[in-house]
């Protein structure tokens, strides 16, 4: 069994490595589409600086590594969160997972952006026509994860992407794949994680908002509409490697240390550090920091240190967790995240 598990892990990692080809092109910063895929969710892991590729756990870690949901200790778990993001944008997230014995864990997730009303402007009315529109961005995910052994877990998420702004819209599909390996090198508590995110075909916008009225001079024909053909855009793919270590100090006090490196195909590569202290697995204090290896002095990495707290309690067979995270942001207002998990 040991050799079989090692071969499976080697094949999975080998399959993930070609994604490096898509990553690390920082000179294309700001040219990708579907940037909502990059908005993190999960108060615990945001508080730990996003260094969660190897230490994500359960339904709340689904965004960071699809394999994490297989580590849930509950038959069914529900997670909801809200984050105040950049420029008064709200990020709402919900997920539910169920474990089937002998099959694995299936999860459904939904992330949506609350942007608010935007005035409609034209070349004739640059100050607004008096009308408004409300952009609608959401990502619907279906995940499957399974523990191949007591050490190895794998997972995959298929995300349906939908964007609508006024009379134009775009839709697409993206895949996330993750691997978790616990007790690396026979060291209790040492884990490694690898994730590849947002791999999929290019997207493009369509809709009646791309129709433009035009006429041909000198021709006896009325004005007609023609459609502007927008260029396609790529998804913001990335690959992330993480290393984590869990240790129980005396049975009541526990610590988690984590680090991660993420290579992005449309932005600078990122380095992340995180730590968590817990008392009796009921009270949690977390902190983290992430920074980017800037390839251009003109670009500024927005996100800095983060911290958070969490409380967990049992109500009969129901376990309830409440987590809060704060993330320092340059230029914009700081991020605040609140998340609630139910497990039974």
Token readout for 187 is: 């060291």
- Whether the CB-CB separation of 39 and 64 falls below 8 Å is answered with no
> For the whole model, what pTM was predicted?
0.88
Sign of CA dihedral 112, 115, 116, 122: negative
DSSP 128-185: --S-EE--EEEEEEEEEEEESSSSEEEEEEEEEEEEEETTEEEEEEEEEEEEEEESGG
Task: Determine phi and psi for 331, rounding to 5 degrees.
Answer: 75, -55
pLDDT in tens, 66-79: 999 999 989 999 99
pLDDT for 224 equals 80
pLDDT in tens, 10-54: 444 444 444 444 444 446 666 788 999 999 999 999 999 999 999
> How long is the chain?
344
- Whether the CB-CB separation of 286 and 48 falls below 8 Å is answered with yes
pLDDT for 23 equals 41
Residue 251 in this model has a pLDDT that exceeds 90 = no
Q: Which CATH superfamily is domain 2-200+234-343 in?
A: monomeric porin ompg (2.40.160.40)
């Amino acid at each position: 069994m040991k050799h079989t598990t090692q071969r499976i892990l080697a094949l999975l990692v080998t399959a993930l490595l070609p994604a490096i080809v898509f990553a690390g092109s920082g000179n294309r910063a700001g040219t990708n589409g579907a940037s909502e895929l990059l908005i993190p969710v999960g108060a615990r892991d945001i508080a730990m600086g996003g260094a969660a590729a190897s230490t994500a756990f359960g339904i709340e870690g689904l965004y960071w590594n699809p394999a994490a949901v297989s580590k849930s200790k509950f038959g069914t778990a529900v997670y909801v969160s809200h984050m105040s993001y950049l420029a008064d944008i709200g990020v709402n997230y919900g997920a539910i997972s169920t474990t089937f014995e002998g099959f694995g864990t299936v999860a459904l997730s939904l992330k949506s952006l609350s942007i608010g009303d935007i005035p409609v402007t034209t070349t004739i009315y640059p100050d607004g026509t008096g009308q408004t529109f409300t952009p609608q961005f959401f990502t619907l995910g279906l995940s499957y994860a399974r523990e191949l052994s007591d050490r190895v877990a794998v997972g995959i998420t298929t995300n349906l992407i939908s964007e609508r702004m006024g009379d134009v819209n775009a839709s697409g599909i993206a895949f996330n794949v993750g691997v978790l390996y616990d007790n690396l090198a026979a060291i209790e508590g040492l884990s490694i994680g690898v994730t590849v995110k947002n791999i999929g075909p290019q997207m493009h916008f369509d809709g009646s908002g791309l129709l433009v009225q035009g006429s041909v001079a000198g021709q006896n024909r009325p004005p007609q509409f023609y459609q502007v053909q927008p260029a396609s855009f790529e998804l913001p793919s990335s690959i992330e490697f993480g290393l984590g270590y869990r240790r129980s100090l005396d049975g009541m006090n526990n610590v988690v240390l984590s680090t991660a490196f993420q290579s992005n195909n449309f932005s600078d590569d990122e380095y992340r550090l995180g730590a968590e202290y817990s008392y009796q697995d009921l009270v949690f204090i977390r902190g983290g920091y992430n920074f980017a290896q800037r390839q251009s002095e003109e670009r500024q990495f927005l996100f800095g240190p983060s911290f958070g707290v969490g409380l967990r309690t049992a109500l009969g067979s129901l376990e309830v967790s409440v987590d809060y995270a704060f993330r320092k942001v340059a230029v914009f207002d700081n991020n605040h995240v609140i998340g609630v998990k139910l497990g039974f």
